Structure 1
């Protein structure tokens, strides 16, 4: 992931948007990550007949091209489905800015390169207002410096060091573990040898 995420921001102020809203369960039948963009926010984006809902923000110009969401409190609550993050990334969403995120959703986001800057409520509300103005605000999220810039508005954000580092490096838990591969093999070899000696005795 680049050190800076830039793009158009869309206001999405609903509180407690859970993972079933982000990715309805009927889209979880796939055994791959492909095709999940269609399921992302499906019940908000489309009606029962599959027609686009014109009142949903991501169906409206210019926010239909948004890559950043300004979200309400407790975004990503609910089940642990990683499909929610996969779908958002496939839809082109690179970051969500909010006051806090559900823990499992936050961890899934970190693993999949979805940046989640955390800001105070007043800063979030200012960004919501800015993003909702025509013709839509362009934001720049500096992951390295932990700063959001939107015109003259500069907003520092919180992001723990391990998440920040993982986003910049494009890493995840598996890749991080592989950096210790030699030490893990040495430990396993020593453990096997100790077990072999124990059996002989």
Structure 2
């Protein structure tokens, strides 16, 4: 990944080209004013990574302490909700960047962390917890993601928590909404 410096006047004149360089080539561009850095253009992936370390509008949080806690209510059966995460065929329809063997000790791979993860807790229809990295001193802090399920009348509440560096709350909200849409579409197509 390259980083370039561009003076303010040039940046204004070449904005379209600079945005393409950032968006399609992953380049980072520092815009200078009077020779000093004044602003930056970064890709959305870079921005998400930065937000994971220092949430906008909040106190900076070290990556080892970041916690995300998101919940969604899904109109469907617990069986449908569980199978949508535990079975590859169902999961591939709405979460292609997650590979998980839903059993303790199973593999867990996800696009935003290059390390191989493990399923550390799994109870069918109740919880699945995955960990990337270890507690040992390494260059990267461990990440733990736990997904819990609670049946509440005619809906299932899915709660996703992430402890450690990762994609942040927006990612989990989007994933939970995709999960909800998938299960509710499946549920409505099955009902008479």
**Which TM class, normalised by the smaller chain length?**
under 0.3
Between the two structures, name the one with larger relative contact order (CA 8 Å, sep ≥ 6).
1
TM (normalized to structure 1)?
0.22
The structure richer in helix per residue is: 1
TM-score by length of 2: 0.22
Higher normalized strand content (fraction of residues): 2
